[in-house]
Chain A
Amino acid sequence: MSEFIYLIPAITILVGALTLMFMSMYEKYTVKNFITVSCIFLFIALGFSSLSFTDLYSVKPYSDLLNNVLIFDTFSNFFNILLILGTILTLLIGEHYFQHRSYFKGEFFSILLFALFGMMLLSHTNELITAYIALEIASFSVYIMVGYNTEDSKRVEAIFKYLVLGSFIGAFYLLGVVLVYGATATTNLSELGTYISTHSGDDMILVYIGLTLILFTFLFKIAAFPFQSWVLDVYRGAPMVITAYMASTFKIAIFSFFMRAFLQDLAPIIDFWDTIISVIIVLTLVFGTYLAVNQNIVKRMLAASSIVHTGYLLLAFIALSYKDGELLNIDSAYATMFYLIAYLLSALGAFGLASHIISETNVRVTYNDFKGLAHERPFLAAMMTIFLFSLAGIPSTIGFIGKFYVFTEAINAGYVSLAILAIIATIVSVYYYFKLIAMMYFYPAPSTCSIEGFNDKRVSTYAIAFVAILTILGGVGSAIVFFIPILNIDTLIALSQTAVQSLFIK
């Protein structure tokens, strides 16, 4: 029974997803009911996850039944909390949007929870095939959700591009797994780790090739160059709320599995990919910036800028290295995790706020549509400004602290020129983020697009305000805001440290 308690959050989500599926058979439930029920399940799962989130533990429950393919430790728990929080916030921020789009029916929420279940499983998985299954559960749910936008003709392009390319890269993953299995006769990460630390030379060739193919899957899912081509169109065609979900929560789930694999088991050969990844970082930063500057639709701009943020994340990832039996620069793992939190908050806020604004209209959300927002709805404009500041890494927001860690660790690991390139990308990012702020504040509202009597007192607004407060608190911390002891920046780092340490419990 004591082992069962670790399984509760994931099982709760699964039960929640099934419940919602049954509920959706009845006509009488409204979208509001579905949101409430989803939130109840999510909060239960969050509660059970938070029970043990400061403890240091690592268990493989029911090993005779599960055969050690799932691992439950502080690391996965940390990511579970983030994933559940991301989903809750997506639901609450999207509340307004869901209610004004007729195509959101009950089963949508069921699919959302299935996606979450897949992602949570992904953070627990300790075996390559299981990881593939978890990844596909999450991905297929997201494919379906991308296609929900029946009012937009772009959705067909979005869903097909994503489905075809996603399946294609899935084949790469499987090929990689086969090659690794061919060399090592195992797909379990722990056994793979043992093989790697005891073999070298010719024995490793297939492993290297196989793992490189698996790495490509990772790069595809987080949209690094040259695997980024789907991002703009998919983000553009998906319903706004789903874009927010993909940009923030899904990315975290991908990172949770690959960080586990690289830190826990593949650490001895982690430096093998340094050259490839540094080239990819350069291309990702340059190309992402180029794309972001040229966009006119805000959603596409945010999508393109998410490519740039992937570059920053990889910058922290590459700073990890291995020498003489131990991981060097383990701090950069914390930096990655902190940056993921920072990006979760700011991207969710920015995408979510945009979806909130357009809920009752059907505009494309170009830069021009933001004109005069500050005069009509000053608080929403102020919050959007906070999120954009955070994305641009302006001090006093969590995005700045995240960039601070990432760049410090990159310089610490000796990647000074990459850090400078990332800084240049940041400079350019100031341009395209501030352009939006300028639109909101410095132009009068276009007369055709005024939305009178807009009801600001609703769940979405409060959820966005909550995210905005977290963004500010995470950037200012408790030393300056003396009266708030929680959400200390150091606490977040301490949590991620505990999480990473739990990976090394054998």
Chain B
Amino acid sequence: MNRPGLPPLPRRLSAPAVHAPARVPGQAAVRSQVLENGLKIIVWSDHSIPSVALHNWVRVGSRNEVPGLTGLAHFFEHMMFNGTARHGAGEFDRLMEAQGGSNNAFTCDDVTVYQDWFPRGALDLVFELEADRIQGLSLDPALIESERGVVHSERLLRVEDNNAGYLSEQVQAEAFLVHPYRFPTIGLPADIKSWTAQDLWAFYRTYYAPNNQTIVLVGDVSHEEAFALARRHLAKLPRQPQPPAILVREPEQLGERRVVVRRAAQMALLQYAYKAPAAADPLGPALNLLLTALTDGNASRLHRLLVEQRMIAQDVAAEWHQGFDPSLCWFWFTLAEGVDPHTARDLIDAELAGIAAAGIDAADLQRAGNLNAAAFWKQLATIDGKAHLLGEFEALRGGWQQLFQAPARHAEVTREQIAAAARLLLNPRRRTVGMLLPQAQGES
């Protein structure tokens, strides 16, 4: 049930009975408060280890970008570590590490999330550092230039030297006519080279408002202590005008789109991107279970057919990108050596058409339900997993309280609902198909 959308870009370097849903422990240990300036704090007090995870969810991502400035949200995330008026360049990391903390951040289409993991003794420092960079960033011109190089290297790693990443970028661009979901979060090469300090300042002032952020704390901290720290360090940030709403609505897709890329490769790739609903859509649980039934595990429908029985694929995977607006549901197929992607497409399409027509059987539903429940429990086993789930439900799915309903919501899903989700999703007219065909060296 936690399908985090397109792989976010981290700042740094993975037939028993259907079980009745267990009650999710911990709801009583979670409390939230909203400061006068609109900043919301959610705290899950959990003393199992002497550590704390703090995540700051900022409601800005590449969805808020415009042509010519793609990649700005992600680049800005990098700059958030590069110094403030109070703490010079590098101090953020040096101070945090010297008190036992580590950190990271990721940016995706809809949000930017900053994460700190530290011993409880560093609580005051971490709040001080977070409050400081939300309001006092320096944006030193020399550091902007050097960080451009870092992000350029990150792009080469993930896109130019990565066939799967390269094809996905092309498919994503083709799938949307007008919505900013067409932009790659890492940014286009020319944009990475050209954004200016003025662009960054405008971005900072617009989106890094307290009323546009939610801070989640999980771990060895009491509610009172966490709220007091939040008031002390964060209450003074001035509320700002609400960032402009993204009003762009992608028009209905009326026919299949195709992208064919030829590149040096040993294996052909095939990718499908279907138009899919937004994160908060009531169809969510059914869609999650449908995808689990289709591609998670060796017994999943597509793995069984394509990898085991017909041996035409090396791997299959699927992911519903869950955002504020309707986005995409991806299927990725790494084809076995020598397999023609057109042949693979015909076979896959026949299978998907069957699923759209008839849904899945009871055994597949039970398997999907149990796998989904187990994944949920596994994520709840760590303070970081809890922090991520709270943030995700708060930002994208109608509030953190929904987290505690998630197992029951998934357990209620019927085969009829999955069939309805399959009919809606697996419509070839609402998809973009990408193929990467191997090209011999020197061929052009």
- Our verdict on whether A and B bind, yes or no, reads no
